[in-house]
Amino acid sequence: KDFFSGKKQPPRNRITNSQKSIRTNDIENVGVTSRHHTLFEMLGNFSIGDYFKPEAIEFAFEFLTEVLEMEKDKLYITYFKDDKETYEKWISLGVEPSHLVAGDREMNFWDMGMGPCGPDTEIFFDRGSKYDERGVELIEKDLDNDRYIEIWNIVFSEFNNDGEGNYNELVQKNIDTGAGLERIASILQDGHTNFDTDLFMPIIKKVEEMTGKKYDGIIQNYSWSYESCS
C-alpha cells in the first residue's frame, strides 16, 4: 500500500514474487470447489510507478502463450466496461472480440474498501465443454463453474479509496497482479482438478498408503478429506 501510494520508496520499481497465501475473503469455498485451497501459491508481478496497462497486458499474454504455450484461442478476458484502453490492447494482441467480456464495477474493479484500487482485467482458460456445456455466459453472469478457470488478475492500481467513498488519483500509476500456480499447473498437466497435479498427488498417494482408501477425485465423497490433508 505504502509503495503504491508513494509514502514509501520501494527497493525497485519492478518486482516479481511467488508468495504463499492464506485464503481469507472466500474461505467458504474451500472444500466446496476443486479450485480453492486454504493455502495457495500466488505468482505476482508489480510495477510501482513504472510500466502500466499496455506492458502489463503484454507481459501476461506473452508469458501464457509463448513461455507456457497455452493456446490463445482458449483464453477469455474480462475487463472493466469503461476501460477502452484495455479492450483495445487485448484486440491488438489478436484476442477475438467474442473472447472479451465487459464487466461492471462489482466484477472488474478491485477495491478492498480503503487504500489503492482500480479497474482490473482477468484472464480465464477454457477447459472445454466436457466440464460445462454452457458457454461464455458463465463468465458474463459470473457463475461458478469448472470450465472457465480464472488464472490471472491484473489490477491497474491508479486510485485511492479514502474509506468514505471518495476516490482520488494516486501520485503514480501502479500494477498489481496475481496468478494462481495450482490452477496453471492443473491446466498445463491436464489435471481434472488442481489436485491431479504433481503439486498434490505425492501427498495424496501417501494418504492412500496410510489409509488403504483410494482417492477418486470426487469432492462429494471422502476424497475431500484427502484434499484437506494435502
pLDDT digits (tens, 9 = 90+) for 47-71: 999 999 999 999 999 999 999 999 9
Is the CB of residue 34 less than 8 Å from the CB of residue 219? yes
Distance CA 186, CA 152 (A): 14
Q: How many residues does the chain have?
A: 230
pLDDT in tens, 13-34: 999 999 988 867 666 766 666 6
Most confident segment among 99-108, 206-215, 218-227: 99-108
Is the CB of residue 153 less than 8 Å from the CB of residue 178? yes
Among the residue ranges 122-136, 140-154, 178-192, 204-218, the one predicted with the least confidence is 204-218
Q: How confident is the model at residue 167 (pLDDT cuts 50, 70, 90)?
A: very high
Is the CB of residue 225 less than 8 Å from the CB of residue 195? no
Conformational region of residue 163, where left means phi above 0, alpha means psi within -120 to 50, and beta covers everything else: left
- pTM, two decimals, is 0.88
Of residues 195 and 154, which shows the higher confidence score? 154
39 has a pLDDT exceeding 70: yes
218 has a pLDDT exceeding 60: no
223 has a pLDDT exceeding 60: no
Distance CA 64, CA 47 (A): 19
8 has a pLDDT exceeding 50: yes
224 has a pLDDT exceeding 50: no
Mean pLDDT of 147-165: 96
pLDDT in tens, 111-138: 999 999 999 999 999 999 999 999 999 9
What average pLDDT does the structure give for the chain?
89
Q: How confident is the model at residue 221 (pLDDT cuts 50, 70, 90)?
A: very low
Q: CA torsion 64→108→118→53, rounded to 10°? A: 30
> What is residue 216's predicted lDDT score, i.e. its pLDDT?
67
> What is residue 226's predicted lDDT score, i.e. its pLDDT?
44
- Domain spans in the chain, listed from the N-terminal domain onward: 2-188, 200-230
What is the second-level CATH architecture of the domain 2-188? 2-Layer Sandwich (3.30)
Distance CA 208, CA 212 (A): 5
> What is residue 217's predicted lDDT score, i.e. its pLDDT?
61
> What is residue 205's predicted lDDT score, i.e. its pLDDT?
85
Distance CA 130, CA 121 (A): 26
- Strand ranges (E), the chain: 14-22, 39-48, 75-80, 100-103, 109-110, 115-126, 148-161, 167-180
